[in-house]
Amino acid sequence: MKITLEEALAIFEKYGIDVPITFARDIHLFNKRLNKEIRIFQGMMFSSEYYENLRELGVEEIEVTFTELLFAKLVSLFPQKYRLPFGVKSFIEFDKYLNDIEDANRLTKRKRYLISATEIVSKGHTLLRYGESIDIKRWNEIKVYIDRKTQIPYYPSERGILLVTLSNASDPDYLQKFFLHSEAVALFVEKANRLNFALSNDFYPDTDVFTATKEDEAFYKYSENNIRLVVIVDKDIDQRYKSLLAKLKTYDRYCRISAIKNISPGTEEEILRSVKKSYLSDLFIEAR
């Protein structure tokens, strides 16, 4: 896997040799200032000395051997970039799920896929890299070389929720809409954290909560950010919402949609559980 030089240094300084960082490729560079060749070989361990040499030569990223221990520490130190996997599937489950996704992709403009949360190596050859996108074509190219007992951690290509409250200053109930929308944002960004509640293992509220107050804005954010779930936040689902939902369903017939009509201290946990159920659903499987 590739990590930045700064990430490698942070791991080394915090954990030392207890969390080995092993170079996965040879590095041969020449330092003109020192008139010296810098040679690092595959299998060598990263250290602060290598950090200084590589930084001076302008290296920003290195390829290292993926291990579950190293990945766990990256998740701990850099949670917005390295996240816990959304889930883990067996070889057979992974194969079936990608086929289900491929069937859905034929019927919708949104093209779903999976993202590897691990690395798979066979006979010294890396078949699958961390962060690699996997569609059915890529999977069929490599699956014959993968042990059928392999468990595969993954991320979906879709992530995040979009809180939509269609409003403008001329609406007679603009203030009520504004406060309800603000309460919804606070619920998923702040209160969910205090309740130790997550929509999924890989959900990070500081970056995965999006908002929209206009129809075009909502559609753009859904399509461009690969939003996983649209949440309508309004006590009244009027014609503007019906228009938006029709547009979303035309683009993606398997669009996940939920709604919040009001929020009170007594209903917050119930709302979170309900939204989580929608967030984790796969309509392209349930609709069959």
- For the residues 265-270, what does the mean pLDDT come to? 91
pTM: 0.92
The pairs formed by 188-196 with CB atoms below 8 angstroms and a separation of 24 or more are 188/161, 188/163, 188/272, 188/275, 191/268, 192/272, 195/268, 195/269, 195/272
Question: Per-domain residue ranges for the chain?
Answer: 2-77, 87-156, 161-286
The residue length of the chain stands at 288
Whether the per-residue pLDDT at 282 is higher than 90: the answer is yes
Q: Write out pLDDT tens, residues 15-31.
A: 999 999 999 999 998 88
Model confidence at 10, pLDDT cuts 50, 70, 90, reads very high
How many Å apart are CA 287 and CA 37, to the nearest integer? 61
- What is the dihedral sign for C-alpha 197, 200, 203, 205? negative
Q: Write out pLDDT tens, residues 216-255.
A: 999 999 999 999 999 999 999 999 999 999 999 999 999 9
3-state SS, residue 130:
coil
Q: What is the pLDDT of residue 46?
A: 96
CA 134, distance to chain mean position in Å, is 14
Q: What is the pLDDT of residue 152?
A: 97
- For the residues 150-161, what does the mean pLDDT come to? 98
Q: What is the pLDDT of residue 80?
A: 86
Q: Write out pLDDT tens, residues 167-225.
A: 988 888 999 999 999 999 999 999 988 888 899 999 999 899 999 999 999 999 999 99
Question: What backbone phi and psi angles, to 5 degrees, belong to 163?
Answer: -90, 115
Q: What is the pLDDT of residue 123?
A: 84
Q: What is the pLDDT of residue 288?
A: 66
Q: What is the pLDDT of residue 193?
A: 83
Q: Write out pLDDT tens, residues 77-130.
A: 999 899 999 999 999 999 999 999 999 999 999 999 999 999 999 888 899 999
Tell me the residue type at 39: R
- Average pLDDT over the chain reads 94
CATH ID of 161-286, from 1.10.3470, 3.40.50, 1.10.260, 2.60.40: 3.40.50
